[in-house]
Structures are given as C-alpha cells and as structure tokens.
Amino acid sequence: MITEWEWIVPFKGRNHSGSVEQNFLCKAGNVYVMDNHRAALWCWLNELDLTTPHSLIHIDRHPDALQSRLDEWLKHLPSWAAGIDAYLGKTYQSDDFDCPVIRWDNYISIYLREFGDSLTTFRCLTHEDGDPPNFGHPMYSSPWELPENLSYWLAEREGPWIVNIDLDYFYCQFESDIRMMVSDDYIDAVATGLKDAMDRGTIGVLTLCLTPDSYTPGWTATETLAARILERLDLAIQLPNLVEPT
C-alpha cells in the first residue's frame, strides 16, 4: 500500500475552507486529495492535455458551475502552465477588493468554457444545488445508479477520464444534522468501481475533495471517508496529527 504523498500545498491545519481557502493538496500518482475543490482544475491540467479528447464524471453535491461573472473571470485567468501558487493566487479587482479568480463554485464553468469542446462525455451526478453546467448535453445520473455502473461508465473508448469527486455528495441535511445518506457497502462499491477503472488504465486523473465544512460533518468524518475510499485504491493517507499519540 502506497503511503508516500507529494504535498503540493503543505497541510495548514484543520481550518475553515469556504470558497477560497486551500488547507492542503497532495498527490500519489494520478490521484489528488484536497480540502477545497478549487484546486481540481489545476490537477487536471497537471495530468492531461485538456485540449485533446477526454471525458469527465463529476460526483458532487454541487455542479460547481457558477456563471454569474463568468465573462469577467475569463478575462483574468491564470496561465494554465502556472504553478499551484500562481493558480490559487490569481486575483482580479471587483468593488475595490482583490477577489480570487478560481473558486470552489466556478472552476467547472471556467473549465467548460475553456476546454468543453474537447469533452467526449460529461456525466454529472449532483444534488442540483447550484447553476446547471454550461454545457450542451451532460449525461445526468442518479445516486442509486452509481455503485453498480461506475466501472461500466468509465469506458476505455471514452478515456482518458477525469473523475472528480466531492465527499459532500454522500451527505444530506437531516433536520439540524448533516448525515451520511448512503451505506458503507455503497461507498465500498463506488471505490471498487474506481479501482477497476484504475486497473484498466481508463482514469487519467482522480481528484477527491473533503469539503470539511458546511456540507459535511467536518474534518474527522471526511478524513475517515476519504481513507476508506483510498484504501480500495491501495493508497493510505493520514493527515498530520490525525491520530493523537497515546
């Protein structure tokens, strides 16, 4: 089991992530783990030529396709060859404030405008919480379709695939609590589908986001869930001080 990770954004602690704070980003092979999804597009650019044919499956509570200021964001994009600091740090002036260009809720809309012409297949599984993707004909699927079909969906003829997962997809609001809405068996089946596709070489890059605040129960729960999924991929991850010494 691989335990060596490259820390692209060194771990800053279990802090608030919100729309723009990046507390960590690490990678092992073509698998990237982060707390804030805004880094995902950089990871895809780091692994694939997005101007050539590829496919995307987006599994996330949100479409991450905000378009309210899309034309303005497109005028201030970072260089796609930039390092992670320049990518995350690119800002523009809005109402006398320096605003980050790339956010957790707009990186998909930016990606689709910049690279959507190269998409072979775009499959979207969300809670429809946010703007729909600015793309002609996404393929929409439901949560109950995911475990049995994921390996089949990640077909070789449509690769390489970007697999983009936000763990908030697996949670729901229940009265005053945020709870898992699926079973351990469901999670294991999803992870098994990922492993099968990884073994077949159809996944070009996998991005996994914790989103440890607002839409999940927090750091402890999402770290545990991420570790469970990654274990099926023969990856072991433990954020610093995840387990206190006894």
What are the tens digits of pLDDT across the range 191-240? 999 999 999 999 999 999 999 988 999 999 999 999 999 999 999 999 98
Give the residue-averaged pLDDT of 118-138.
95
pLDDT tops 80 at residue 49: yes
pLDDT tens figures, 9-44: 999 999 999 989 999 999 999 999 999 999 999 999
CA dist list (Å): 206 to 68, 79, 201 = 28, 22, 12
pLDDT tens figures, 138-186: 999 999 999 999 999 999 989 899 999 999 999 998 888 999 999 999 9
Q: What is the pLDDT of residue 172?
A: 94
Residue 2: band (very low, low, confident or very high) from pLDDT cuts 50, 70, 90: low
Give the residue-averaged pLDDT of 122-151.
95
Q: What is the pLDDT of residue 173?
A: 87
Q: What is the pLDDT of residue 214?
A: 83
